Amino acid sequence: MTEESSRHHEVGTTYIHRDARPERFVWIVPEDAVHSGCLHAYSNTALIGRSEPISMRQSKRKREDISQVADTSGPWFDGVAYMQSKQNNASFVAVAKSKKIGIVGGGMAGLLTSLLLDSVGIKDWHIIESSHRIGGRIRTKYLANTTPDDYQYQEMGPMRFPLRVKYADTNETLDIQDHKMVFQLGDVLNEMNGNDPALAVKFIPWIQSSPNVPANSNGYRLPNGRIPSAAMIRANSSLRLPGPEPSDPEAVEIAEEALENFYDNTPERLRNASQNVYKAHKEAIERGLFNWSEANYLRYALNLTADMVDFIAGSGNSAMWDLYDLNYFAASEWRTIDKGLESLPRAFLPHVRDRLTLGRAIDGVVYNNKTGKVSLTWRKDPFAMEPESEEFDYAVVAVPFSKVRLWKLPKYSSLLDRAIKTMNYAQSCKVALHYKTRFWEKLSPPIIGGCGSVDIYGIGSVCYPAYEVNSSRPGVLLASYSSGTSARSLAALSDADHVGLVQRAMIEAHGDIAAEQFTGAYDRQCWEVDEHQAGAWASPTLGQQDLYLPAYYKTEFKSIFIGEHTSYTHAWIFSALDSAVRGTTQLLLDLGLVDEAKQVVETWMGRWIHL
């Protein structure tokens, strides 16, 4: 080092009186020094002394680790918010912020990570995306070669956001705090884009329930052959055929009451989940809800027969914590995005296009012990023995484990390795159908938005567009949204067979007019066979959630894993955004940038969740 301005650390300054004649210097190595080198002494700008080279060991590298300050089962951001600030000198900050960051995956977690890094002055990042678009599992499909302005679309991925819940016991309405991060992101992007209408993220009402949607009538059909509506069945229960009867009705009633008591999902707990889902998650762990699936609780805690267990709960192997979904789907108000959720990634594009590579499928992460850096590998030719690669200081991996588990990876810890290899993913299929008009809004009675369900196996939910109600445009139905085991069978069908099955169901639900109005245009999405996702959303089996969460808070081999599968909740865009905030904070702390980490937490968590 020849100039004082190129220093990495400043030990301190002192004033020496003109008459003083010091004969030696005592060199003191700073506790937070991370670079090997020499200590230098300057008088004004003149170099007057230099120590022997000092070699820094990894043990001297003292960084505040997010896993040490964060509650990995509860409000993880609390610890970060109350960390002691670090007043790093300009040289240290410049070096830390010059790190080269590889972001693998251009879904919502990867996109928000890029925005967060920019916000604290880390500009040398690059997004690598395997597909030829950004947005991940946001898949708005504009049917029949239309554009967003034509309003003939359906969401083949996520489609709405719960806004607030009205609680009957107190008659109060509370906002669902965690999902406000999505609305905040929309505001930020609109401001960044100068409120350009072409890039606008505009939230509009979503209709979640509607009285005249078709309902599961368990095989009953009206005299005209149509499926009864939800309102009809509520008014006349005989329009729904009875299901199978249990062999011991009294035992079923006792077991269901015991199950409800164990859940104990009181209105107060629901309210608390609205205010802070992280605390609700921690409480659920403490209450033991992650120790049982419904089936296991009935079988081994209540000693029911296998037949009774199957009748009440089926064979699901997920933990019993579903409070967040109960709360979300109890929402009295919902929002979606005008012209499709695709507006979110579209609004990111101007800010990432110069630091974005599309169509590059990463297939490996390689750590270099000598340089302490990590390389990402890929192959243009699948048969090439030697991959191409690019080296980064850190890799932030925003790719589902369902894809990562096929990569060549470093020797991660046993826990992280097991999470990558075994995390369970739910499967789902959607089919959207295009019609000449929005005929369902002209039926008697009309169907205005909402989601219903039918008893035809493999159809699942049917959702009607909440935008442009009663317009004269052609219309697009989400004619089938099926998840679970049925989606696996559906994914194996040809397009023609799957779409034919769904269109026949629409004729049963609406009458011959559905046949007359069908244009033949459709879109089909089965997530299990999607080459970029290999699954719809993370659905941890019993024991996976609370076991694996702590592994995501530890940076191993310069790799940080984010995505909705690493969050407390799953299948929601909020979950992906939450993971990006955590992953970025983790990276900043690893770099020693405590103040910047606090800034990210306060901006994106402190605004909505009480710290």
Q: What is the pLDDT of residue 13?
A: 66
142/156 Cα distance (integer angstroms): 10
End-of-domain residue from the set 507, 529, 551: 529
List the structure tokens of 357: 């590579």
DSSP H stretches of helix in 511-604:
513-517, 544-548, 573-590, 594-604
Q: Is 407 in the same domain as 475? A: no
Transcribe 93-162 into DSSP letters.
HHHHHT--EEEE--SHHHHHHHHHHHHTT---EEEE-SSSSS-TT--EEE-TT--GGG--EEESS---EE
End-of-domain residue from the set 529, 562, 580: 529
CATH of the domain at 152: 3.90.660.10
CATH of the domain at 381: 3.50.50.60
Q: Is 459 in the same domain as 585? A: no
289/476 Cα distance (integer angstroms): 40
- Report the length, in residues, of the chain: 611
Total-model pTM:
0.90
In a domain, 220, yes or no: no
Q: Is 269 in the same domain as 312? A: yes
3-state SS record for 261-318: HHHCCCHHHHHHHHHCHHHHHHHHHHCCCCCCCHHHHHHHHCCCCHHHHHHHHCCCCE
Q: Is 352 in the same domain as 481? A: no
In a domain, 130, yes or no: yes
Edge-first strand listing for the sheet containing 388-392: 362-368, 373-378, 388-392
In a domain, 461, yes or no: yes
Q: Is 557 in the same domain as 417? A: yes
Q: Is 401 in the same domain as 545? A: yes
Q: What is the pLDDT of residue 24?
A: 63
- Find out whether 556 and 374 touch, Cβ atoms under 8 Å: no
Q: Is 560 in the same domain as 492? A: no
Q: Is 439 in the same domain as 522? A: yes
Q: What one-character DSSP code corresponds to residue 603?
A: H
End-of-domain residue from the set 462, 497, 529: 529
- Find out whether 561 and 583 touch, Cβ atoms under 8 Å: yes
Task: Give residue 370's domain range.
Answer: 66-134+343-425+535-604
Q: Is 412 in the same domain as 459? A: no
List the structure tokens of 21: 């004649």
Q: Is 383 in the same domain as 475? A: no
Report the chain's C-alpha Rg in angstroms. 28
Using CB atoms within 10 Å of the CB of residue 392, give its burial: 0 to 12 exposed, 13 to 18 middle, 19+ buried.
buried
Using CB atoms within 10 Å of the CB of residue 502, give its burial: 0 to 12 exposed, 13 to 18 middle, 19+ buried.
buried
Structural domain total, the chain: 3
- Which of 305, 358, 449, 428 shows the shortest CA–CA distance to 131? 358
- Find out whether 111 and 138 touch, Cβ atoms under 8 Å: no
Q: What is the pLDDT of residue 106?
A: 98
In a domain, 227, yes or no: no
pLDDT along the chain (611 residues), means of 10: 61 62 62 65 76 61 80 94 90 95 98 98 98 98 97 98 93 94 97 97 97 96 94 96 89 92 91 93 94 93 92 90 89 97 98 98 97 97 97 98 98 98 97 98 96 95 97 97 96 98 97 98 98 97 95 97 97 97 97 96 87 67
Q: Is 510 in the same domain as 436? A: yes
